[in-house]
Amino acid sequence: MIISKAPTLTDTQLAEVEAVVGDFGCKIQVIYGAHRNIYAIIGDERSETMVNRLLGLDYIDRVDRMESVYKLMDIRSDLCHHRIHVGGVELGKEPFFIAGQCTIDPAAESAFLETAAAVKEAGAHVIRGGVWKPRTSPHSFQGTAKSMEILLKAREQTGLPVIAEVMDENQLRIALEAKVDMLQIGTRNSLNYTLLAAVGRRTAEAGIPVLLKRGRHMGSVDEFISAAEYIAANGNPNLIFCPRGTMPKLDGFRNHPDESITPLLKEKSWAPVVVDPSHSVGRAKYVPACALAAMAYGADGLVIETHVNPISGIGDDPKQSITPEVLNKLIQNARMVWSLNPRSATKGEGKSA
Ligand code: PEP
Ligand code: MN
């Protein structure tokens, strides 16, 4: 759909537009309005180059594509009935919780193992623990592959699946060799298309669920969904969107909380949404409210940084981890809010492209 700056295109301009779309096998259908015309593109309008060539014409204001640029993640795709299972939960059927420390401190193995047992007791389905950490300062603790052993020990002791963030292909290889149950792509790498494609390829066979965090400088909802499309297009459709706050931050919080993006994601894509309130607000005291807001917006679950003794932790734990006691209450309340939210059991049905 082409919108011109002036109410109508001149004959010369229309001919030029027709020539551009013609190069991509499309035609123009003019829709005559009382005050302005609209120029519908008939044909496959997904070509980025075609749109860019149209936008390069001075007299064109906007080009709105009716067809989705993401084929697989779109709510109208054939994948709309695809369901993701982790930790005994089918996402969307019951609320889903990931909890555990931001960072595994290799010098405090017992704290991590205690945290893992406690978050299980509180109702978590998956244990999180940062093995490698994306830190703003190169002088901060960067994590170590040794922590993978601690994460696996927690899995063995609790019987719960584990999730770890990977930031490059080497870490991906180590995580896959360790058979972690779920992968996280963090905010900084959510636009690293080479890594996203590699994750899709390397997890295609096993179909390991991937929690894709929203980039803190990401633009539109479409940009987020398109990032997931990279993983799906390379073979793994087991994707979960994770809003985690964006920049610029809201005064007093770590980021700008973005749990409200949840219904927008759900309108456009079939993939579940698991919100991370911990990085969003960045302070333990605000986490429960943000978590419940996410559930009210229709999130399928939460990922929450939790530590048995936050003050003794490293990474984000001292400032934003809640205790297992707080987590327990939060999970109970989140379940209550989840049950209030009308959810369609037939999500996506009848919308197949
Ligand atoms: C984390 O989960 O600890 C983390 C670093 O997340 P994000 O990528 O959202 O900052
Ligand atoms: Mn963290």
pLDDT of 352 strictly over 50: no
**What's the token pair of residue 127?**
């244990």
User: Residues near ligand 1 with C-beta < 6 Å?
Assistant: 102, 130, 134, 186-188, 213, 244, 276, 279, 316
- pLDDT tens-digit series, residues 307-316: 999 999 999 9
**pLDDT surpasses 70 at 345:** no
Protein residue with its CA nearest to atom 8 in ligand 1:
186
Which pTM value belongs to this model? 0.92
User: Average pLDDT of 146-170?
Assistant: 98
Would you say 108 and 300 are in contact if contact means Cβ atoms under 8 Å apart?
A: no
Of 5 and 66, more confident: 5
Minimal-distance CA residue to ligand 1 atom 3: 102
Q: Is the pLDDT of residue 344 over 80?
A: no
Report the atom number in ligand 1 closest to the C-alpha of 186. 8
For residue 280, which ligand has an atom nearest its CA? 1
Q: Which of 187, 212, 218, 259 to mutate to test the pocket of ligand 1 (most atoms within 8 A of CB)?
A: 187
The amino acid that residue 214 corresponds to is R
Residue nearest to atom 6 of ligand 1 (CA): 186
> Model confidence over 37-58: pLDDT tens digits?
999 999 999 899 999 999 999 9
User: What is the arithmetic mean of pLDDT over 283-301?
Assistant: 98
Convert 155-181 to b/e letters by CB count within 10 Å (16 or more is b): beebebbbbbbbbeeebbebbbebebb
Locate the DSSP E strands across the chain.
2-4, 27-31, 38-42, 60-63, 85-86, 89-90, 96-103, 126-130, 162-165, 182-185, 210-213, 239-242, 274-275, 301-305
Q: What atom of ligand 1 comes closest to residue 244's alpha carbon? A: 9
